[in-house]
């Protein structure tokens, strides 16, 4: 017999490439981005309840329970399925808020995957993807569970095979609001879409980076330091910056030279989401 799962991972992501290729009439930006899962993230634990109550049972600094995407995801799944079950949710937060690593979106995806399983509500992947998109543009990526080229507002996913890699991710001590970056008048919004069958380092880059670094000097400082050792980029709308390495040893050698007080971590790129088997 298999051992019942007691905790559910919510891995982070990196944007290996991000281009803003236009804007819809409703104000949403059209993107083209390569998304990579990493083996560093948050952890969620669940206790199924019989009284329909959804409750986060621990405090998370900077994330009130009422605004937590994890709680919102549970409530959305509950409404969509009509289940009378509830859940206590414990969230161990490692991914920094406003870091561009997809923490809230990944938490929401893990809740949908885990509670669909624990509640035995039986929704198929296609329906979970629809629910995920209601919560945020990155949520479907985590539900789908594969590295991908994402287009549109993030909902059009093309699986993308990526080679093994290790990443040094620096976490500047700032939180960057995504909405502020996308609303900035100097944001580049007219990149040409590129056709992609496979990703290469020459395609790396981030159209949001210039605005993020201008508005948040701490991000620019961390990026400048990392680029002394390797090509490096902002992920998402920031604040985190990263560089790719072929081996863990190479990544840790650079990390070992970091100035005192600089925060970050080394992570391995994943081929797929560790909960991918829960989405049918």
Q: Which residues are catalytic?
A: 13, 138
What kind and span of H or E run contains 116? helix 103-118
Q: What is the distance between the alpha carbons of residues 265 and 100, in angstroms, rounded to a whole number?
A: 14
Characterize the bridge pairing of strands 29-49 and 148-152: antiparallel
Query: Token match 């891995």: residue?
Result: 11
Query: Token match 């925060």: residue?
Result: 263
61 CA to centre of own chain: 19
Q: What is the distance between the alpha carbons of residues 198 and 183, in angstroms, rounded to a whole number?
A: 31
Cβ neighbours of 63 (radius 10 Å)? 19
Using alpha carbons only, how large is the chain's radius of gyration in Å?
Answer: 19
Cβ neighbours of 263 (radius 10 Å)? 13
Q: What is the distance between the alpha carbons of residues 17 and 196, in angstroms, rounded to a whole number?
A: 11
Structural contact between residues 181 and 208, judged by C-beta atoms closer than 8 angstroms: yes
Nearest alpha-carbon partner for 7 in 119, 114, 151: 114
Structural contact between residues 269 and 168, judged by C-beta atoms closer than 8 angstroms: no
> Side-chain half-sphere of 41: how many Cα atoms within 13 Å?
31
Name the DSSP letter for residue 215: H
């Amino acid at each position: 017999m298999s051992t019942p799962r007691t905790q559910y991972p919510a891995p982070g992501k990196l944007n290996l490439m991000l281009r803003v290729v236009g804007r819809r009439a409703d104000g949403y930006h059209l993107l083209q981005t390569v998304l990579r899962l990493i083996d560093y993230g948050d952890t969620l634990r669940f206790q199924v309840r019989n009284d329909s109550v959804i409750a986060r049972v621990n405090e998370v600094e900077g994330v009130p329970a009422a605004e937590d995407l994890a709680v919102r995801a549970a409530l959305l799944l509950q409404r969509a399925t009509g289940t009378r079950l509830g859940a206590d949710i414990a969230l161990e937060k490692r991914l920094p808020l406003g870091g561009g690593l997809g923490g809230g979106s990944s938490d929401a995806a893990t809740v949908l995957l885990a509670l669909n399983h624990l509640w035995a509500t039986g929704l198929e992947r296609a329906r979970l993807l629809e629910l995920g998109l209601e919560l945020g543009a990155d949520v479907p990526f985590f539900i789908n569970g594969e590295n991908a080229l994402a287009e549109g507002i993030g909902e059009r996913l093309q699986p993308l095979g990526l080679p093994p890699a290790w990443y040094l991710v620096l976490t500047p001590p700032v939180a960057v609001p995504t909405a502020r970056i996308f609303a900035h008048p100097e944001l580049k919004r007219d990149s040409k879409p590129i056709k992609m069958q496979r990703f290469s380092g020459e395609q790396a880059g981030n159209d949001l980076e210039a605005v993020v670094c201008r508005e948040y000097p701490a991000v620019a400082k961390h990026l400048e330091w990392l680029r002394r050792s390797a090509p490096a980029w902002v992920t998402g709308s920031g604040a985190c910056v990263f560089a790719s390495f072929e081996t863990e040893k190479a990544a840790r050698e650079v990390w070992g030279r970091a100035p005192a007080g600089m925060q970050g971590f080394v992570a391995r790129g994943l081929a797929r989401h560790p909960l991918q088997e829960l989405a049918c």
